[in-house]
Structures are given as C-alpha cells and as structure tokens.
Chain A
C-alpha cells in the first residue's frame, strides 16, 4: 500500500511541475496544449499518425535488437551477448516486430487510407479507434519497459511452455510478455472490429463491395482474421498468466497438464497472424502497381476471391508449425496438403500483378520500386513456404536458419516492403508533401541489397545444420563466413533505414505542396485535398465504377459527382477517456508484473470506472456548418 501512496504523491508532484500548478487556468492551459489535442484525438487521420510514430519507435528498438544479435554472431564462440540475455533479445525482437511494428504500421495506413478510399468521413467507432491505439501503445510500452528494468521475456515470441513457466523462466520476464501482448491485443481486436464495421457500413453511395479498392478489401479480410485469430491467443495468454501469476497448472505435466495445448492455441492464432500482416501489404502492392502501370488491376474479381480464400485457408494450416511435435503421419499429411493449397491463390495474385504491368506504362517511383522489389522477394519467400509445407523436408528445415530466412523473406520482403511502398505512395495524401525521390531510391537499393545479403544465405545456414535462436556456433561447424556476410547485410539494412529517416526529415524541411493528386491516382482518396480536411469529403462522392476517380477522369470530369447536397457535417468530439482507460490497464499490468496485487486491482478498477463513466457520457459530437466548409474548401483549393 505504501508503494501506491508514494507513487500517487510522486505523480501529483510531477503533474504540478509539468502543468505549472493548479489554479483556475489549469484546465484551459491543458486543453489548449498541442499535446492534449493529440492525446484526445478521435480523428482517424491523426490516429494514423500516432500509429505511424508508435510503430516506427518500436521498429527502431526491434532493429537495434536485431543488430545486437547479428553482432554477437559475427564470430564463433563470441561472448558479446550470451545465454539468457541473447534469448531476451531474440524474444523482444520477434515480439516487437510482429505485434508492435508490423501491426501498428499497417493500422497506420489502414486508418489513414480506408475511410478516404470508401468515401467516409471517419471510421464507424472513433472512440474505439482511439482506445485501440492507446491500448496498443501502452501494451507495447509495458513490454518494452522490461528492457529498462531488466529481466525481459526470454522464451521467444512463441513463448513455448514449459520454458515460459515460473520454474524455467524465473523473474518477471514472461509476465511482461503475457500482460503487454494481452493489453495491446485488446487494442488490435478493437481496431479490427472497427474496420469491419466501417467497411460494411460507411461506404459512399455506389461503392459496392466489388468496387472497393483492393487495399480496402485486403484490410477487410485481415480485420476478419484479427476478429477470429486473436481470441485463441488471448485464451492461451490467459492460461499462461494464470499459471505464472496465480499458480494454476494447465501445462505442467506433473499436475496433469499438457504443454502441447499452448502450441496449438498459439499457432491457431499465429498462422492467421502472418496473413493479417501480409494481406494489407498485398493490397498496397495492388494499388501501387495499378497506379504506376496506369492500368486497371488485372483480374480484380479473382484478386478479391484469392484474398478471401487465403484468409479462409489461413485458419486450416496452423499445425504445419508443429510437424515435428509428433502428431503422426495422418495429421501431418492433412496439414501439408492444406498448406500447399494456399500456394494457388497466392500464385493467382503474383501473376495478376505481373499482368497488370503487362501492356502498361510503368513509372519507377520509389513506391513502385518497393512494389517491384517485392515481387521476386515475396516469390522467394513463397516457394520456400511450399518447400516447408512438405513434412519430410520440414523435419530438416524446422527450427533451423532456413525457417528464419523464409519468414524474413515474407515479413520484410512482403510486409515491410509493402508498408514502405504505402508510406511513399500515401505520404503526400497524409502530410501534403512528397518524400524525396532521390533519397528514397538510394535507401531502397541499400535496404534491398542489404536484405538479400542478410537473409538469402541464411537458407544455407539451415541446410548446414545451424538451428535458429542460438547465440553461437562452433568454429568447426564451418559457418563463420556465412554468418559474417549475413551480419554485414544486417548493417546495410540499418543504413537503409537510417536513410529513410533522413529522407523524412529532409523532405519535411524542403516540403512543397504536392497537390491533391500527385501520382495520377485512380481511387477516391486522390479526389480530396492533401492533407484532407478534418471531415474528408465536403460532399460524399458518387461512385460509378471500380477505380472511381479514374473512371471520372476518363469521362473527362475533373472531380467526382457529389452524392449529396452541401450541408452541415456531423463530427465526433475529442475524448480523453481512451487514454485514461489505457493508462489504467497499463498501471494494472505493471502491478501484476511486480506481483503488487493492490496496484493491479487499482488499475483495473480505474479502467472499469472510466468505462462506466463513458457509458453515461452524453457526447453527441458537433457539427461543422456549411459556410465553414465552404471557407475550408476554398482555402484548400486556392
């Protein structure tokens, strides 16, 4: 209890110092601060920027972790970072990159673009959207605090029991993982729900399902995967939490438990998860390739169908991560065939991209370079994926560096290239100015070459008997040179990322307005000013075909035909409760990590109290009046 009192007093002091003490003006001072605006925002465009900043922050942390690991592997029997510390690094790297980098960065683009692509003024649940972001952020922060406090998670991002149990991982490490991922998982679930509701309900007149841009489609399927994929993870994490913190025995063999249950729960989530992060990237590639080849997407309908099929099959194949568990040849065979089947819809996509470019007029902008670089890289990752689907082959590849190479090919070559392509492509829409193309191309080539240098030869490390997640190898293994080349590649990638950051700063300093349609775009987001006004569309556009804007351009129209008369627009108010609720969860998580039940309970109580308050809050939003809209529109077009 004393801890709480001390903490509260400390927080009050800190608050007093930062806000200049309490007086009548305090409230006004707080509310007019720019930070307050960002903390309380419910605008999907601002939340997108928050996701972008959050994801980038954890990307830097995850990247540094990767570099530290590759540095340790520079020499056989190196003693830079060994044993548990190395296991902590690999666990933090994996968890950060999947949960706190890939997902938020995709959410950033989804938030920024989807409402614009479907002609909506905001998402369906702006409050939920803000809550989703803050839960993600505080969950990620909670887990990464372990780097400061020491004793981080050390059982891999897969967190297999029993090494994740109290007996084999003493201390607070795994608790950070269990609570951090759960809290941010709630946020992700809310984000997914929100996009499903938005895409189903908020499409502008004429925007039928089969006229939706492909990025919206893939994000839609991805959100559905989140909806079905995250509950098994939450269930699994709940079991681990009860085992670690409250002394339950779900996985302890001596007490009648079974560790394989965790593996199933984890991969029932884990395999859809990789499609959650790759499908939106497919969507981005489809948009970018179609725009810069100046052609309609080849086989749009089959692209949509392939996306749905991948999403569906994604739930049928989890056990291919567990071929060596000993499920027997029948189960292994069934999952092998199911996994191979996924190659067919994925193949449809690749060929459709190629034939979108066929006969087109290809412009090699930086965004297009990433999309073009993505194709061979992703195909490489795809073919090794089919190789992994065959159990007898997998017995050799499994848990070796071959697997490491494979999933970095799909996650970097697929997801990261997709995110970068999306950033270069939509940056002018989000911020009103383009990123520098010259620096962009330099950074692309350095990153691209560095990536292949790092990971291509890692396939061979696997063939030469190097298991994954090892902190060292022996000189007589004869894999020193390959490891060194791989490390050099990793540093090259780091250089590429630094150049991207430099590019962002440089382009901001030398920004010139990019205009509403800098790339000769095809979809609705390019019909409104950049950056878009808070209400996005002064009048909702009427969609008459796939690639709605392109269709109008071909008809000789400069703008979309409005579907409604100009009138007052209803917008949601800012709200500080999402931040407070997430803060409550964060405090509670921290409390349980340190086994301080009072703090844990207090945080939860605070969370539910704020939730209760929210339920009775009368918040009807506000209206932007017609003359105000006209003024803003005039300013934007001037």
Chain B
C-alpha cells in the first residue's frame, strides 16, 4: 500500500511540477477519510492488476500478430473456447467478491448513527446559496462558514439545505453527503489532529457554486471548550465610539439578514450568515482572507466576488460609515 501510494505521490509530483496539492484524498486526516482511502486503495490494487493483465495480452497480441508484408495467408477461424471464457468470467467474479465484502462493511460503518452512550458532538449543518450555517443544538451556538470541532472526537452532522441541493465535502476528513431541501441526511467525521481543513460544496448549486467554500477548524478539546465558552458569551458590545457608530450603521443596514448574538441585534430568519465573533473568522464570505481590504471589497461589490449572491452592495454608504462598520465587525469576538 505504501509502495503504491509512493508511486502515486511521485507521479502526482512530476505531473504538478512540484506543486503541492493543498488537500488530498490520499492523505486523510480523519478516520472516515481513512476508511474511504482503504477501500479506494483496495480497488486501485485490484483494478491495477486487471489493467496490467489486459495490457500484457494486448501488447503481446499487437506485436506478435501484425500482418507481415507479403503474408496473405488466412488465419484459422476460431469460434471461441468455452474453457477460456469461463476463466475470464470466474476470475473477475472472484475479484469483485474480494472488493464487495469490505465495500459492504464500510458502507454500513460510515452510516452509523450516534448511540445513546456515545459522547459525540452533534452539529446541524444547513446549506444556503452560497454559505454554510452550523448550529450546535446541545451547546446553543450558531455560527457560519467555519465548523469548529474538537480533534479526536466523533462529530455527527445532520445535513439539510434551505434552498437547492448542495453537497458537504471535506476531502481530507471524509466523503460527501448531499444536502437536499426537505430532508435531513446524517454523516459522521472526526479529525485526528488539530488543524484547518478545506471544505467544498460538491453539487452544482448555482452561479457561485465554485466559491461556496468553508473550513473545518479542529482544535484540541481544551481550545475547543474555550471557543465554545466564548461563543456562548460573545463580546459583541462596542467598546469605542467608532465601534458604537459602526453598530448603528449595522443596525440600520445589515440587521434584516444578519444577526449578532450578545446584542439586541437579532433577526428571526437565517437569511444571511450569523456574524457573532466575525473578527475571529479566518475568511470573509468563506473565501477571502479576513482583512480590511477584502471586507471592503465584499461590502461594496459582493456580486463581483460571488456572482449571484443575495448580499446586496453597500457602496452607497459614505466613507465614514463604511469605516465604522468595518471597525465594529472586526471587533466582534
């Protein structure tokens, strides 16, 4: 297995001119991803074997049985051979059985639901065009774009969609699961080590499907607990005059879609991502690095960054209001 992986790695490296892919199914960081990979590698072995056998016969035939110039004899017309044909029926059947058995067991393992005694984290994930909502029902936390999980612990996800069909995919942690409006799907994953893992929407969901990215942030249990405590008691009140002014701009312009916990700024629906603790997020709109310049771009011309987004442009705000708004947003912890 390591040998073939190495071959793949070398091959990939040559292909990409030493360009390192950021995430790879071959390098899983969680147990679900490892189970996927085990099965992938098993099928790769079997299929490589089949391919090599076929190719060996193929090249032998093509070289050995070319028509030589001047040779006009007529080859023997063979009807077939029951024995040989049984051979290439039975061998593939055996190979498929070898593949089928672990396929079935893994399929059932990956579909496990949390048992009563399992101390697992539950997260309800709702997909929207083109952002992700994460709700921790046991902790009472709602957040967006960044899924925080404790490393080394199984997380059970309940996946649904608010509008069209999306698909939840974190290649390093495991496979995908569709998010269909009107139904809730279930999957589990874990991250063995702390780290940040890129996630993608994998089902065509509209104009900005390519940009519907998110991140899974896996922390040590203690850090995760700190994060939970902070989210449960967020520091959202303004501390300076500028922040105070920014909050006012927010309440006049943004509140109809976005909520900030720990303030009176709450909306009923989830039209836009919850912005509690926005200053600590790594990305703006789940896509650009979280800094002043990118936030400015996003607020002024969201449609240029994510075509078809429901976020309207706020380029009509005057410079002072815009600045205060950004200062307030970045102050949220």
Contact = CB atoms under 8 A, between A and B. Distances in A.
Contact of A481 (B17, B71, B204): B17
A298 B78 contact: yes
A383 interface: yes
B176 interface: yes
B22 A477 contact: yes
B181 A259 contact: yes
B267 interface: no
A343 B40 CA distance: 17
Contacts of B207: 83-84, 87, 154
Interface stretch (A33-41, A129-137, A392-400): A392-400
Given A163-B205, A324-B175, A354-B61, A481 B40 contact: no
B54 A350 contact: yes
Contacts of B51: 379-380, 383
Contacts of B185: 325-326
Contacts of A386: 43, 46-47, 96, 99
B210 A471 contact: yes
Contacts of A324: 167, 175-178
Interface string B104-123: 10111011000000000000
A462 B75 CA distance: 46
B80 A476 contact: no
Interface in B1-53: 12, 15-17, 19-26, 35-36, 39-40, 43-44, 46-47, 50-51
B241 to A, nearest CB: 38
A160 interface: yes
Contacts of B74: 294, 361, 554
B92 A162 contact: no
A482 interface: yes
B294 interface: no
Interface in B73-97: 73-81, 84-85, 88-89, 92-93, 96
A449 to B, nearest CB: 15
Contacts of A626: none
B15 to A, nearest CB: 6
Interface string A167-199: 010000000000000000000000000000000
A329 interface: yes
Given A302-B80, A359-B78, A392 B110 contact: yes
A332 B104 CA distance: 9
B47 A387 contact: yes
B239 interface: no
A84 B200 CA distance: 18
Contact of B181 (A156, A162, A347): A162
A258 B165 CA distance: 11
Given A163-B205, A329-B108, A485-B15, A463 B175 contact: no
A465 B75 contact: no
Given A360-B65, A463-B26, A470-B209, A344 B78 contact: no
Contacts of B35: 392
B186 interface: yes
A558 interface: no
Interface residues of B, number: 92
B75 A295 contact: yes
Contacts of B55: 376, 379
A163 B204 contact: yes
A294 B106 CA distance: 48
Interface string A49-88: 0000000000000000000000000000000001110110
A6 B142 CA distance: 59
Given A294-B74, A357-B61, A465-B22, A348 B81 contact: no
B175 A336 contact: no
A636 interface: no
Contacts of A467: 169, 200-202, 209-210
B75 A360 contact: yes
Interface in A561-612: none
Interface in A539-564: 554
A300 B308 contact: no
B171 interface: yes
Contact of A259 (B176, B182, B209, B210): B182
From A259, A328, A395, A464, name the one whose CB has the most chain B CB atoms within 10 angstroms: A395
A336 B165 contact: no
Interface in A260-299: 260, 293-296, 298-299
A333 B104 contact: yes
A395 B110 contact: yes
Contacts of A160: 164-165, 203-204
A169 to B, nearest CB: 8
Given A350-B54, A470-B209, A477-B23, 19 more contacts: A84-B207, A87-B204, A87-B207, A259-B180, A293-B65, A329-B107, A336-B103, A351-B54, A354-B54, A355-B78, A361-B67, A372-B62, A376-B54, A379-B54, A387-B40, A398-B202, A463-B24, A471-B210, A472-B211
The 5 closest A-B pairs by CB, nearest first: A395-B175, A83-B307, A253-B182, A299-B80, A470-B210
Interface of A: 82-84, 86-87, 154-156, 160, 162-163, 168, 253, 258-260, 293-296, 298-302, 324-326, 328-329, 332-333, 336-337, 340-341, 343-344, 347-348, 350-352, 354-355, 357-364, 372, 375-376, 379-380, 383-384, 386-387, 390-396, 398-400, 457, 460, 462-465, 467-474, 476-482, 485, 554
